[in-house]
Homo-oligomer: A and B are copies of this chain.
């Protein structure tokens, strides 16, 4: 069985989403499967009408402009582009939490890159055999 990185993504902040995407890309590049479960703000951040517009930071909001400017200088892609590239490996699956999807009143078609909507119990079963489990 392939080794797996399992990430539960509660956050909708682009700093933490960038960390998540970099880990997903690193894992896919090392032949490690990646499974992602979006909870509350995670589902919100993957909405098609939010994903590229969202500039929310979880910390140090006063450094936001400096950070974005520096990332452009370094030609670093945005978190969703890092994740899109990681998904081209075929090793990355993304699920949205059914409760959170009800809260935002969205289905799979309203969300970018989401493969399925599942419940938390099913997610726990999926995560049990992962080598690495993280809550973002």
Contact with B along A15-53 (1 / 0, CB 8 A): 110110011011101101000000111001000000000
State whether A19 and B29 are in contact (beta carbons under 8 Å apart), knowing that A56-B60, A128-B131 are contacts in the complex. Answer: no
Number of copies: 3
* Residues 64-79 of chain A, each 1 if its beta carbon lies under 8 Å from chain B, else 0: 0001001100101000
Q: Which of B23, B32, B67, B103 contacts A70 (CB 8 A)?
A: B103
Would A10 and B19 be within 8 Å (CB), given that A26-B119, A30-B124, A124-B132 are in contact? Answer: yes
* CB-contacts of A86-136 with B (<8 A): 97, 99, 102-103, 119-125, 127-136
Q: How large is the interface on A (under 10, 10 to 19, 20 to 34, 35 or more residues)?
A: 35 or more
User: Using a CB–CB distance below 8 Å, which chain A residues touch chain B?
Assistant: 3, 5-8, 10-13, 15-16, 18-19, 22-23, 25-27, 29-30, 32, 39-41, 44, 56, 58-60, 67, 70-71, 74, 76, 97, 99, 102-103, 119-125, 127-136
